[in-house]
Structure 1
Amino acid sequence: MKLSLKSITIGLLTIALYFFNSYELKANSKKETIITKRIPPLEKSKNNTVKIALLLDTSNSMDGLINQAKSQLWDIVNEFTNAECQNKIRPELQIAIYQYGNDHLSSREGYIQQVLNFSNDLDEISEKLFSLSTNGGEEYCGQVIQTSLNQLDWGKNPDNLKMIFIAGNEPFDQGHLNFKDAATNAKEKNVIVNTIYCGGYEEGIQTHWKEGARLTAGEYMAIDHNREVVQISTPYDDIIIKLNSKLNKTYISYGSLGITKMEMQITQDDNAMALEEVVAVKRAVSKSSRLYNNKHWDLVDASKEKDFDVSEIKPEALPKELKGKSKKEIESFITNKATERNEIQNEIQELNRKREAYIAKNKSEENNGELESAMLKAIKRQASAKNYIWK
């Protein structure tokens, strides 16, 4: 069978057209795949976060510093309860803890230990602070700063307030890692380094603590860490402590963490009271705030989440008082506890307003806690630079 030139030409064109269309379809398919996998541009997080890393010297003679830090935790929390960002969003608070300069720590790690990664679990933060003990050792400020920069997730949101507070009493330039290099790295991550020298102001300057702060536009502070902090008792303290006991009874534990976390809550109340009654009051005020959230083990806090559905909780994860109850009965129980908690928290907040007014009226310079005064002033100034306001 003979084919004409015309037939051959048409055939070749048909084949060429087929392969061209086939290639175009594959190309378009690839283009679509690339488009769907394209990484969107980074957006600012809707939730502003305040990230604070506490780097505490736990060498000998630092017991006073640790005790002040245990008390100061609740002042920091209460300070940010009423803070508001420029976008009118209330910021979240996360705190990390490092200890350094303790002989009980690994020499390979530079006598440095991460005690707690960034956490918003206030009971856990308190527990870790109370776990600290002092012992002799080598204090390497530059290295502990760099370690915290490497290990912690500081995030990339430029609106977040990111601060390091490092406290100690040995020269700031000890160790193999130059503190200036650590400060440069902190600046690149938009982290402000604040230094707290436990000793004389001029001595801290001579031993480079002020320079360590200056490099990131941080604050340099000198405190007497062994000074006994004079707290002001008020007529409202006993009432707030009694209300705190009532507040604890509104928690409904669930899941594998429930019972353990509820026990931790009571233990940290006891720790605060053992330190000083006023510290227990400050903790109770923190527990009445939005920052004390236990949605991972408490059904009342969990029920505030948009996707919460009590029917999705396995029967064995429910507390004893809710086992065998219908969905409607469980929801009613949670609602009643939530109402009760809200009333108690509002009462604590109202009493605290009266308490603060009483303290302001009776406060003198001698009543200021060393670490409390230093840290809160630095926090307020640096937060204001990020357009935070206090209502």
Structure 2
Amino acid sequence: MKRRQLFIGITVFAFTLGNLYGCNLKSNTSEKIALTTNYISEKPAKQYVKLALLLDTSNSMDGLINQAKSQLWDIVNEFTYARCGNEVRPSLQIALYEYGNDNLSAREGYIRQVLGFSSDLDEISEKLFSLTTNGGEEFCGEVIHTSLKQLDWGKNADDLKMIFIAGNEPFTQGKLNYKDAALNAKEKDIIVNTIFCGNYQQGISTKWKNGATLTGGEYMAIDHNRQVVHIDTPYDDVIIKLNTQLNNTYISYGSLGAAKVASQAAQDSEAYNVNKGVAVKRSVSKSSRLYKNSKWDLVDAVEEAEVELDEIQEEDLPKELRGKSEKEMKEYIQSKKEERKRIQKEIQDLNVKREAYIAKNQKQEKGELENALLNAIKNQAAKKNYTWD
């Protein structure tokens, strides 16, 4: 009898374990977890896609940085539709490193963490646009190792964790062997994808392909100096105007409020300065679920239970809410929330028409960097049962 009970216990444990990992959790997962609380802790409430971009910022890489600036919003917009299994929409976090720049510290291996993992899209944009190029030594193994050591990758087996390293010098440069860095990444369930800026065969001979293969990642070669072509559509100007209206639905509060409002407007301008198409794509990103600002915007903060209105100091409120009762504040916030949802839906609906127009009139492929990133992301996400809809 005892042997039979032991067999049943092991069977239940193995069945539950098989259902805990991978993103295709059913609605009764919590019931299965409850059966085995003595064995396994409850699955994390959130799923994350964590992307670390390691960009060579030496003299020859101006084209790469320009492509990254142009195509950041394509990556964000793609993840708006990502789903982990049948239910969960994963949160996107992006980290940014630069390497190979003479302006960086030689003691640090000419490597700098520009931004740790962040879901603040304005902050990501600001840091990316701050990058400049200058000649230097490019140590691929060392920058991979540094990102593994410094970043909080988490321990959730269902999270999709990827490094994208781009450059054009031999992958073997530097004292730290790239193979050791790659094996360290694999042990942490982190995939290293390599993007060689130049000839495909040259990238293979200089070990960029091997650097990716060691972790099950993908090797890609791109023309980093290729100009990103924007196709004008009849919907662009309308989307940009709606973006201005969208900004007016944000209610800043706290010590970060004023600076973040200014940053939001500044990143709109940075995008427009690249070209109108980038401004449109950023506007679309701002209409998506991934653009959240609960640390400084009262609409998002109240929706996500980030603050209690009666606990906010008068001086931390915007002028339009000072002296108002809690009821009046709630009514004002609710009106801005409804206005925001309406504008976001308008932008999303127009973007569907915009994408259809582009698909019909596009004669050239999308940006090289964008294609490289999206293809690798989708291939690797599929292995963890991520889908797009």
Same fold per superposition (TM over 0.5)? yes
Q: Report the 3-state secondary structure (helix = DSSP H, G, I; strand = E; otherwise coil) of the residue aligned with 2:60.
A: coil
What are the equivalent positions in structure 2 for 1:166-181 lying under 5 Å apart? 166-181=165-180
Deviation track 1:25-47 (CA, whole Å, cap 9, x = no partner) reads xxxxxxxxxxxxxx995443121
Question: Residue 199 of structure 1 corresponds to which residue in structure 2?
Answer: 198
What are the equivalent positions in structure 2 for 1:180-195 lying under 5 Å apart? 180-195=179-194
Matched, 1:388 2:380: no
Question: Residue 120 of structure 1 corresponds to which residue in structure 2?
Answer: 119
- Quote the Cα distance in structure 1 between the aligned partners of 2:222 and 2:298: 42
Structure 1 outlier segments of 4+, above 3 Å: 39-43
What are the equivalent positions in structure 2 for 1:5-44 lying under 5 Å apart? 41-44=40-43
Matched, 1:233 2:225: no
1:314 CA displacement: 1.5
Deviation track 1:213-238 (CA, whole Å, cap 9, x = no partner) reads 10111111100111111122211111
Q: Report the 3-state secondary structure (helix = DSSP H, G, I; strand = E; otherwise coil) of the residue aligned with 1:303.
A: helix
Matched to 1:327, the amino acid is: E
Question: Residue 108 of structure 2 corresponds to which residue in structure 1?
Answer: 109
Matched, 1:305 2:304: yes
Q: Report the 3-state secondary structure (helix = DSSP H, G, I; strand = E; otherwise coil) of the residue aligned with 1:221.
A: strand
Deviation track 1:42-73 (CA, whole Å, cap 9, x = no partner) reads 44312100000000000011111001111221
Tell me how large the CA RMSD over aligned residues is: 1.4
- Quote the Cα distance in structure 2 between the aligned partners of 1:81 and 1:368: 19
Question: Residue 9 of structure 1 corresponds to which residue in structure 2?
Answer: none
Question: Residue 157 of structure 2 corresponds to which residue in structure 1?
Answer: 158
Matched to 2:338, the amino acid is: T
Q: How many residues align?
A: 353
1:105 CA displacement: 0.3
- Quote the Cα distance in structure 2 between the aligned partners of 1:290 and 1:307: 17
Q: Report the 3-state secondary structure (helix = DSSP H, G, I; strand = E; otherwise coil) of the residue aligned with 1:97.
A: strand
Question: Residue 372 of structure 1 corresponds to which residue in structure 2?
Answer: 370
Q: In 2, are the aligned partners of 1:232 and 1:367 still within 8 Å (CA)?
A: no
Matched, 1:353 2:364: no
Q: In 1, are the aligned partners of 2:166 and 2:197 still within 8 Å (CA)?
A: yes
1:306 CA displacement: 3.8
- Quote the Cα distance in structure 2 between the aligned partners of 1:69 and 1:165: 12
For structure 1, list consecutive stretches of 5 or more residues without a partner in the other structure: 1-38
Q: Report the 3-state secondary structure (helix = DSSP H, G, I; strand = E; otherwise coil) of the residue aligned with 1:166.
A: strand
- Quote the Cα distance in structure 2 between the aligned partners of 1:72 and 1:187: 28
Q: Report the 3-state secondary structure (helix = DSSP H, G, I; strand = E; otherwise coil) of the residue aligned with 1:229.
A: coil
Question: Residue 55 of structure 1 corresponds to which residue in structure 2?
Answer: 54
Provide TM-score, normalisation by structure 1: 0.88
Q: Report the 3-state secondary structure (helix = DSSP H, G, I; strand = E; otherwise coil) of the residue aligned with 1:367.
A: coil
Percent of aligned pairs with the same residue? 69
Q: In 2, are the aligned partners of 1:65 and 1:225 still within 8 Å (CA)?
A: yes
Q: Report the 3-state secondary structure (helix = DSSP H, G, I; strand = E; otherwise coil) of the residue aligned with 2:303.
A: coil
Question: Residue 331 of structure 1 corresponds to which residue in structure 2?
Answer: 330
Matched to 2:380, the amino acid is: Q
1:181 CA displacement: 0.4
- Quote the Cα distance in structure 2 between the aligned partners of 1:89 and 1:262: 30
Deviation track 1:365-391 (CA, whole Å, cap 9, x = no partner) reads x23211011111111111111111111
Q: In 1, are the aligned partners of 2:196 and 2:208 still within 8 Å (CA)?
A: yes
Question: Residue 262 of structure 2 corresponds to which residue in structure 1?
Answer: 263
Q: Which moved more, 1:143-152 or 1:321-330?
A: 321-330
For structure 2, list consecutive stretches of 5 or more residues without a partner in the other structure: 1-37
- Quote the Cα distance in structure 2 between the aligned partners of 1:307 and 1:293: 12
Q: In 1, are the aligned partners of 2:195 and 2:219 still within 8 Å (CA)?
A: yes
Provide TM-score, normalisation by structure 2: 0.89
Matched, 1:71 2:57: no
- Quote the Cα distance in structure 2 between the aligned partners of 1:371 and 1:43: 38
Question: Residue 22 of structure 2 corresponds to which residue in structure 1?
Answer: none
Question: Residue 11 of structure 1 corresponds to which residue in structure 2?
Answer: none
Question: Residue 35 of structure 1 corresponds to which residue in structure 2?
Answer: none
